Chains A and B, each alone.
Chain A
Amino acid sequence: MRRRNISIFLILSAFLFILFALDLLTGSSSISFSEVFRAICGGDVPASVSRIVLGIRLPKALSAILAGAALSVSGLQMQTLFANPLAGPYVLGINSGASFGVAMFILGMPLLGVSASSGSIVSSLGVAGAAWIGAALILAAVAFAGRRVRSILVILVLGMMLSSAVDSVVQILQYMSNEQALKSFVVWTMGSLSDVTPVQLCVMACSVSAGLLISVGRIKDLNMWLLGETYSRTMGLNVIRSRNMLFLSTVLLAGTVTAFCGPVGFVGLAVPHICRALFREADHRVLLPASVLTGASLLLLCDIVSKLWVVPINSITALLGIPVVVWVVLENKTFA
């Protein structure tokens, strides 16, 4: 690996570590650095401090890292697979699909007279499962269209239309639901890292790791996909299996994060471009770890900002991500 890349990787890792520490330090109650450090290391601290650091801030910081890494890698995969710089879980409607699944679970279940007690393992797995299924359905529909239609523009429009359609079904569900279910769904759509319970964190860690493992295992495929389907096939790639595995990985990554943290937009779209600009590389063996580090750092940063101003994390990621998207559009005037 080139020396320049190694130094960027070191800087990114340092950034990640610093932001992780800062994230643990910021919050509504002021806790000193030494107390946070001792709480993490299991030292002697007041019970309230230990509860805040280990029970609230640490899970939140960890879920920020997981969510940032997962969304960025899924965005990178989608951009390569669809040969489209504007692809990402958000644009292709995967987030909408996951929202739809969750809406069916949170809003639809009470309508059918089934109530799942929130916080239990069943309900965390149920939310995740619903989001997975929703995301997988949308992705399958887009992928099916992609087999027949080659035009990138058509696929993008299809993704947008599908998410609009799904959103309106969600609206109908919202209209029919009772206040309590409606509130918990609306809060979920705002995106929050703080509602992730330890059980959910474990589920998230497992499926994000699985998604990342699949992605790493397909790293050569991703590089071949840069040349498109025809060349990938003539260079020996089993394109259907490869595409399905990458879709599975995307569902595990983006679907899970959306399930537990709500629809966090623009991270998946923006981070791969930041990495390409930083490293000036197209090789996924560089871009994939770079996306993990940058995505995790970016979401930690967003979390710190959202804690300082007490605003939903969703709005922060959008405000940070949109300039990147605008820059990509202006840079690639000739794409599509």
Chain B
Amino acid sequence: MISLRHFSLGYDPHRLLLEDVNIDFESGKLTALIGRNGCGKSTLLRSIACLTGNYTGQILIDGIDSRGMTASELARYISFVDTSRIRVPNLKCIDLVALGRSPYTDWTGRLNENDRKIVRDALAMVGMEAFSDRSVDKISDGECQRVMIARALAQQTPVILLDEPTSFIDLPGRYDLCALLRSLTRDYGKTIVFSTHELDLACANADWIVHVSKDDNGRPIITQLPAQQVSAGSYIKDDFKSF
């Protein structure tokens, strides 16, 4: 479980993106992070992944402050996928996914039989097993996105953070991906948080919706609601009119 305590985020202390947030991302639940461009969704995810220390307050990972953890400890707990596209010539999809095993391999990065099986399974889960020998610079953006997600799966962490994972993926692929994320929370008890702009997709699959917005005075507010309640309609009418 990931807990934020008195968490404030912002580049400018007078214009915070998030202010005094106290929320929990429960284990075994799928949480969708929604909000307008620039509201701080990505920065929040990057803070939880310890990619930026530009916040005050605490991020507790199973009760332990993440600031005290080393990169290698974190890598066994949290995996992260963003929208950057990896275009390395000659790098095969399967070798890219295999890099997800880095926290567990020795200094040469050699894979054992178990690691190889995990890598193959991860590629199969995102439906990319047929691409394992293709070079990542010769596949489409959506395919690349799926391979990057497979890499996070190969990392076998209890927490997976995804920043707009659906952005390059086609419509059927989006539904498949959200279904996959949901089944990972159900079957493996993983904690998954993803940001998205697609409310219908989020409502249909997520357990919780975390909505980042601003009140009438321009102060940031963050709301955590069960997905059913959001899709029931009343909340959308009131607070999502800006969408």
Contacts and interface: CB of A to CB of B under 8 A. Distances in A.
- Are A and B interaction partners? yes
Interface string A230-242: 1101111111000
Interface stretch (B80-88, B122-130, B210-218): B80-88
A285 interface: yes
Nearest to B72: A236
Nearest to A226: B88
A237 B71 contact: yes
B188 to A, nearest CB: 19
Given A220-B108, A237-B102, A282 B72 contact: no
Interface residues of B, number: 32
A217 B107 CA distance: 7
A238 B51 contact: no
A235 B100 contact: yes
Contacts of A224: 99, 102
Given A220-B109, A285-B109, A236 B90 contact: no
B107 to A, nearest CB: 6
B80 A230 contact: yes
Interface residues of A, number: 25
Interface string A218-253: 011001101110110111111100000000000000
Contacts of A230: 51, 80, 82, 84
A231 B50 CA distance: 12
B107 A234 contact: no
B16 interface: no
Nearest to B73: A236
B178 interface: no
B229 to A, nearest CB: 32
A234 B108 contact: no
Contact of B90 (A231, A233, A280, A285): A280
A307 interface: no
A235 B90 contact: no
Contacts, number: 77
A209 B100 CA distance: 30
Given A234-B75, A236-B74, A285 B99 contact: no
A280 B88 CA distance: 11
B206 interface: no
Contacts of A195: none
Interface string A315-336: 0000000000000000010000
Contacts of B173: none
Contacts of A283: 95
A217 B91 CA distance: 21
Nearest to A279: B90
B72 A238 contact: yes
A227 B107 contact: no
A215 to B, nearest CB: 12
A236 B82 contact: no
Nearest to A229: B51
B78 A228 contact: no
Contact of B70 (A223, A228, A238, A282): A238
B50 to A, nearest CB: 8
Interface of B: 49-51, 70-72, 74-76, 78-80, 82, 84, 86, 88-92, 95-96, 99-100, 102-103, 105, 107-109, 151, 155
Given A231-B80, A234-B79, A236-B75, 12 more contacts: A219-B109, A220-B102, A223-B109, A233-B49, A234-B74, A235-B99, A236-B72, A236-B74, A236-B103, A238-B70, A276-B90, A282-B91
Interface of A: 217, 219-220, 223-224, 226-228, 230-231, 233-239, 276, 279-283, 285, 332
18 contacts: A217-B107, A219-B107, A220-B109, A223-B109, A224-B102, A231-B80, A231-B99, A233-B50, A235-B102, A236-B103, A238-B72, A281-B90, A282-B88, A282-B89, A282-B91, A282-B92, A283-B95, A332-B89
